[in-house]
Amino acid sequence: MSKIIDTNKDYKYGFTTDIESFKAPKGLSEETIKFISKEKKEPKWLLDWRLKAYKRLKSLKEPNWQKPKYPKIDYQNLYYYSAPKSTKNKPKSLDEVDPKLIETYKKLGIPLDEQKRLSGVAVDAVFDSVSVATTFKGELTKKGIIFCSISEAIQKHPDLVKKYLGSVIPLTDHYFATLNSAVFTDGSFVYIPPNVRCPMELSTYFRINASQTGQFERTLIIADKGSYVSYLEGCTAPMRDENQLHAANVELVALDDAEIKYSTVQNWYPGDEEGKGGIYNFVTKRGACRGRNSKISWTQVETGSAITWKYPSCILQGDNSVGEFYSIAITNNHQKADTGTKMIHLGKNTKSKIISKGISAGKADNTYRGLVDISKKAENSRNYTQCDSLLMGNKCGAHTVPYIRNKNSSSTIEHEATTSKINEEQLFYCNQRGLNQEEAVSLIVNGFCKEVLQQLPMEFAVEAQKLVSISLEGSVG
């Protein structure tokens, strides 16, 4: 009943930039790690930390419990460090940045230049592994906010990095997180001092350019007491036949009364309609609500990647802390997504809310997998979970795998999930009013996702809304 139109030829970010790259020797080894560390002029403690992670990695096995299976990754055939050559001598202002790079960002529509200042977005763009240019630094510095690449933070704020790095995702975590700890190259670092409300939305744009490289960024965000920050992350990657690995770690720490809002629009290359190529997006994102009354909110729109495994989680340690997770995952053609969240309630009166919307079309598989765990001491805690799935066509799958544990009788958990197709009456209603099939589907799907889209900051919401429509073009007939 459904005709599938190739949506990937519309992948408008599928260009490659021809810039000479400076790469580490191929393969995963102690030498590679030492090379990365040396190249980034890292202190000894960090190198030791990396090597410790690598040592542990050797004893670990890749996880295999996830629903989507993938062909074996040859870790020895990857480049773990790739920097555009021209940045070897770091540019001091935007003018010094390679024009080709700027061109790339323009194509992506990233607001890197000064005019974009009006939109209030400060961007720390990560091109492959080295942070190229960071904008709006001045204004942020005035408030005492640190927003820079993690490499820079390691040089300039080693105490903060040392204190928090690996405190949420320890070295002893699962395979891909540990791999990241060993070979992470760059990423963003944010520190918001006490009682500061970050005046603008902070944003990074990740882009995988060189072929056969894995992208291993590490992001660390610390919101000190009483502070607030909203952070945006967007991802794109060029079209390539081979699969590329992306294993990032994101750590958030919220202290007393602090709030972190983390929004992601992920639009990595999903592979072609035959399922060839595309990004393996195996990301570990975890936030710790350490302080009382702290709050962490994850919002994600996942439309890209061949395989997505991603479970942004909240550890609700502080009393009265709040965790939220809003997600839209759209899979088309041969894409596979296995995503969800973990809400671990440890403190008293902790609250969490999960809203997950999954849409599958083509031959795709979409899984929500989540955990809500209320421990014995988490009195009067509360969780509400809602997972809705929409199926388009009879070749795709939608799955829900929630784990729910309540060990405290004063706490309440509510969970509901539904799976259905687009309501034909709604379609008919739209058609009758002159909308064609695609417009109607787009309208209904946007309505289905509304609860999540609402959570995104303005600029992102518009982009995400378009992305939702583009991703599903032609999948209903």
Residue 375 beta carbon to other proteins: minimum distance, rounded to whole angstroms: 10
Is residue 283 within the footprint of other proteins (CB under 8 A)?
no
Is residue 119 within the footprint of other proteins (CB under 8 A)?
no
Footprint of other proteins on residues 220-279 (CB under 8 A)? none
Residue 356 beta carbon to other proteins: minimum distance, rounded to whole angstroms: 12
Residue 423 beta carbon to other proteins: minimum distance, rounded to whole angstroms: 11
Is residue 399 within the footprint of other proteins (CB under 8 A)?
yes
Footprint of other proteins on residues 65-94 (CB under 8 A)? 65
Is residue 116 within the footprint of other proteins (CB under 8 A)?
no
One residue of 85, 163, 407, 466 binding other proteins per CB under 8 A:
407
Footprint of other proteins on residues 355-394 (CB under 8 A)? 376, 389, 391-394
Q: Taking contact as CB under 8 A, which single stretch among the options 130-138, 307-315, 409-417, 437-445 is the one that binds other proteins?
A: 409-417
One residue of 60, 160, 417, 443 binding other proteins per CB under 8 A:
417
One residue of 88, 99, 403, 429 binding other proteins per CB under 8 A:
403
Residue 376 beta carbon to other proteins: minimum distance, rounded to whole angstroms: 8
How many residues make contact with other proteins (CB under 8 A)? Answer: 34
Q: How far is CA 406 from the centre of its chain?
A: 29
Is residue 408 within the footprint of other proteins (CB under 8 A)?
yes
The neighbour count for residue 200, using CB atoms within 10 Å, is 17
One residue of 5, 239, 401, 443 binding other proteins per CB under 8 A:
401
Q: Taking contact as CB under 8 A, which single stretch among the options 105-113, 169-177, 244-252, 406-414 is the one that binds other proteins?
A: 406-414
Q: Taking contact as CB under 8 A, which single stretch among the options 196-204, 239-247, 294-302, 407-415 is the one that binds other proteins?
A: 407-415
Residue 368 beta carbon to other proteins: minimum distance, rounded to whole angstroms: 9
Q: What residues line the site for other proteins (CB under 8 A)? A: 65, 376, 389, 391-421
